[in-house]
Amino acid sequence: MALATQAQIEAVAAELTQCADIVHERLMKGVKRKEIERHEAQLVFQDEIILRQKANGLYIDAANCVVANLAETQKSLLTTIDTAKQKLKKIKDITAFIDLTADLIVLAAAINAAKPSAILAALKEVKKDVENMKEAAQFK
């Protein structure tokens, strides 16, 4: 019998856990009433925890099912996030372009004034802006 759906796996795991609970309850009662001696009790307990390990194993299977089922959903989310990032990038691009324009104006004035130090400083700023625009172009 193959365990197909996540719900079925979950149900069997719950059953196994419940069985283990019942075994433990009976075991404790039996020992307290001196009906079961130590060695036998330990064997029964071993069986109980084997049931619990099997249940936990099934919970791992169920968890893997959830993850597998979410694969498509993850892709959907990522697509939505990508679209948003594109829109944010567009604004970032415009900002970078405005920065560039501002600094080009400064550069023009510096060239006009024919001051080498001012020209150098202005060129540095323009270079930074071009880098930013390139960076903005890679913004994913």
Partner 1 sequence: MRFIQVTITFALTMLLFGCANLKEIQDFAGQSAKLSGYTELTTRFRDTYYREQPYLSGDADRLAQENDAQRKAAYQDLLTVHQSVTVYMQTLATLAGDESFDLSPGIDSLSSGIKAHPDLGIDRAQVDAISGLAKAISKWGTSSYQRRALRGFIKEGNEPLQTTLAGMERLIDYYQKTNDNEWKTIKGLLELELLFTDQPESKLLATLARAHTQTKAAEYQLASKKYLEAKKGIQTIANGHQLLVENLDKLSKQEVKDSLRQFSKDVRVINNHIESM
Residue 131 Cβ, how far from partner 1 at the closest point, in Å?
Answer: 16
- Taking the least distance from each CB to partner 1, the nearer of 88 and 134 is 88
- Taking the least distance from each CB to partner 1, the nearer of 108 and 120 is 108
Residue 119 Cβ, how far from partner 1 at the closest point, in Å?
Answer: 13
Residue 16: half-sphere exposure toward Cβ, Cα within 13 Å: 19
Measure the CA–CA gap between 116 and 78, rounded to whole angstroms.
50
Residue 67 Cβ, how far from partner 1 at the closest point, in Å?
Answer: 5
From residue 24 to residue 53, the character string flagging contacts with partner 1 as x (rule: CB under 8 A) and all else as - is: x--xx--xx-----x--xx--xx-xxx-xx
Residue 112 Cβ, how far from partner 1 at the closest point, in Å?
Answer: 6
Residues 107-126 that bind partner 1 (CB under 8 A): 108-109, 112-113
- Taking the least distance from each CB to partner 1, the nearer of 102 and 134 is 102
Say whether residue 22 binds partner 1 (CB under 8 A).
no
- Torsion over CA of 32, 37, 42 and 44, rounded to 10 degrees? -80
Residues 87-106 that bind partner 1 (CB under 8 A): 87-88, 91, 94-95, 98-99, 101-103, 105-106
Measure the CA–CA gap between 51 and 23, rounded to whole angstroms.
10
